[in-house]
Structure 1
Amino acid sequence: MLNSGKRYNDLNVWLEARRLSKDIYSVTAEFPKEEQFGLINQMRRSAISIPSNIAEGCGRNYPKDSIQFFYIARGSIYELETQLYLRFDLEYIEDVKLNQLLILTETTRKLLSGFIKYYQQIK
């Protein structure tokens, strides 16, 4: 639990990461079936990793451990962003949807980066 008494599931960054995960699940449902164990699985795993690592980091007893999980979550955002571009390259997604997801990805990344800075200061 955070010092302020806030739980991880009250954090804007976690809520935004959850939203991103939901959107990724929805959009990957439209992929060709042959991608079920390829890009679909990888994108979903990356998306789920983001809020999961934020939650796990908030549950750690030592700030250094917490920060490490937040950095893992941020790495998963970059991984997901790359997978979105690959999806576009394979023509599984249109420009408009790609841009919507990239904006959500960027928003989540900025919130997480800000949260990491904040967390480093309060610990």
Structure 2
Amino acid sequence: MSNFRNLLVWQKSMSLTTKIYNSTKKFPKEEIFGLTSQIRRCSISIPSNIAEGFGRDSNKEYLRFLNISIGSLFEMQTQLEIAKNIQYLDEEEFNNLYENSREIERMLVSFISKIKDRN
């Protein structure tokens, strides 16, 4: 693979980040430096770490960045659940975002396994 942009997991995480930004636009203004910012930063971290790890010299380094990416994903899932619980997201929007994130989670776990198997 010559470019991280060709990775389906990167493409899907970029799409999820866009969805997160659109969903969090509706959050109360007092959350701009709280939950809104936190969820957005986590979503940005997912494709960013996939891309950064891709450019590293070794599989060990790449795995480190992929694990950071999955950690950010789990953090974002938790924050989405909080947003649903305090009714910033309705059930349908939460389910859509959460299912998208679960798909990326499965892809990352599989990708990490494949890289580990290469070593």
Output the TM-score relative to the length of structure 1: 0.93
Structure 1 residues not aligned, in runs of 5+: none
Question: Identity of counterpart residues, as a percentage?
Answer: 38
CA distance in 1, matches of 2:72, 2:14: 13
Which amino acid is the alignment partner of residue 113 of structure 1? Answer: V
Q: Secondary structure at 2:87's aligned position in 1?
A: coil
Match of 1:14 in 2: 10
Which residue of 101, 114, 117 corresponds with 1:118? 114
Match of 1:62 in 2: 58
1:120 deviates by: 1.9
Q: Secondary structure at 1:16's aligned position in 2?
A: helix
Match of 2:42 in 1: 46
**1:107 has 2:103 as partner:** yes
1:25 deviates by: 0.5
Q: CA RMSD in A?
A: 0.9
Output the TM-score relative to the length of structure 2: 0.96
CA distance in 2, matches of 1:49, 1:95: 25
1:97 deviates by: 0.7
CA distance in 2, matches of 1:91, 1:111: 29
1:117 deviates by: 1.1
Q: What count of residue pairs does the alignment treat as equivalent?
A: 119
CA distance in 1, matches of 2:115, 2:13: 17
Structure 2 residues not aligned, in runs of 5+: none
1:37 deviates by: 0.3
Where do 4+ consecutive residues of structure 1 move more than 2 Å?
none
CA distance in 1, matches of 2:94, 2:51: 27
